[in-house]
Chain A
């Protein structure tokens, strides 16, 4: 590349009208050409500066290690919080199931107050759940039946004649 071309490119460059390719040509020219006329001193310094800037790297040798440590700190936090989140959800659901299930079991449990006897007294229906009371009532019933049977037996008379028609009826 001759100096005329360089001058044209430089003019375009300082006006901000060069393409990336043209800028790369200028960079390469000024980095690789020695013993340039003094009129290019400013340009040469400029492109040398850009080249130096491109070589700047992160100074800390343990940058990656530091980053890994920070990222590692992020991971367990996230895992723990996720586990805790799941645990809380699980316990909430379990508690709800226990409450609903317990209520259903309680409501559907067999009744302790089983009705042992139902009697009618003066037109009212009475349910007896106490076993002792039921026993006493049963005994009383049997006694009553027994008494009635004995009284009725005394009134029995032998049958003198039975007509066929009475049997049929």
Chain B
């Protein structure tokens, strides 16, 4: 009970940002975080036994997000607040139509493959260590490093195109 109130509830914005980075839809991200909290509430008696509660909670949100897409996925692309994330060929043109540079970067980030996007979010935005990210995503630390390197490289390349050529 203490764990739930004092350690998990304060994570709500972090959980929301992470869910948003995966599903790219605010309402859906909020619903999934709510689902995660209800699930956590139901298992609150076991929370005291969890070694890294924050990583465990983040992992639960990740699994809910992925399960959601597995259940609903037969898609060609995810529509994220009006931006097609998956159609890589068409995305740069659409991106250049955006006036705000931050929106452009968001669109670029959303074009990252799912796992790179999750690693990017956890490292760049939430500042988790490679070890924690590996624990949350249930992948190896080497895989985390490879993913963050590729994500940064992609972001950097796309960002330079926007800055230098207005693409």
Tell me whether A20 and B163 are in contact (CB under 8 A).
no
Please indicate the chain A residues that have their CB under 8 angstroms from the CB of B86 in the complex. Answer: none
The segment from A63-71, A87-95, A103-111, A131-139 found at the interface with B is A63-71
Chain B contacts for A24, CB-based, 8 A: 127
Q: How many residues of B contact A (CB 8 A)?
A: 35
10 new A-B contacts, CB < 8 A, other than A49-B109, A59-B30, are A14-B153, A42-B163, A49-B102, A50-B124, A50-B125, A54-B17, A56-B20, A58-B16, A63-B30, A67-B34
Q: Which of A42, A53, A59 is the one whose CB lies under 8 Å from B156? A: A42
Contact of A45 among B42, B105, B109, B146 (CB under 8 A): B105
Within 8 A of B (CB), among A60-87: 60, 63, 66-67, 70-71, 74
Let me know if A46 and B153 touch, CB within 8 A: no
Q: Given the complex of chains A and B, what is the CA–CA distance between A134 and B61 in angstroms?
A: 90
From known contacts A54-B125, A70-B38, infer whether A46 and B16 are also in contact, taking CB-CB under 8 Å. no
Q: A42-B160, A71-B38 are in contact. Are A49 and B149 (CB under 8 A)?
A: no
Q: Is A56 in contact with B16, judged by CB distance below 8 angstroms?
A: yes
Q: Can you list 12 contacts pairing A with B, beta carbon distance less than 8 Å? A: A14-B156, A41-B163, A46-B156, A50-B124, A52-B102, A53-B125, A54-B17, A56-B13, A56-B17, A57-B16, A63-B30, A67-B38
Provide the bound-state CA to CA distance between A14 and B37, in Å. 36
Q: A45 touching B13 by the CB < 8 A rule? A: no
Within 8 A of A (CB), among B7-21: 12-13, 16-17, 20
Interface residue ranges, A against B (CB under 8 Å):
13-16, 20, 23-24, 41-42, 45-46, 48-50, 52-54, 56-60, 63, 66-67, 70-71, 74
Q: B16 near A48 (CB under 8 angstroms)?
A: no
When distances are taken between beta carbons in the complex, the residues of chain A under 8 Å from B106 are 49, 53
A63 touches B12 (CB 8 A): yes
Q: How far is the CB of A22 from chain B (nearest CB, A)?
A: 12
Query: Which of A16, A56, A63, A74 meets B38, CB within 8 Å?
Result: A74
Closest 4 pairs (CB-CB, A-B): A16-B149, A49-B105, A53-B125, A57-B13
Contact of A70 with B127 at beta-carbon distance under 8 Å, contacts A45-B101, A45-B105, A56-B13 already known: no
What is the chain A residue whose CB lies nearest that of B17?
Answer: A56
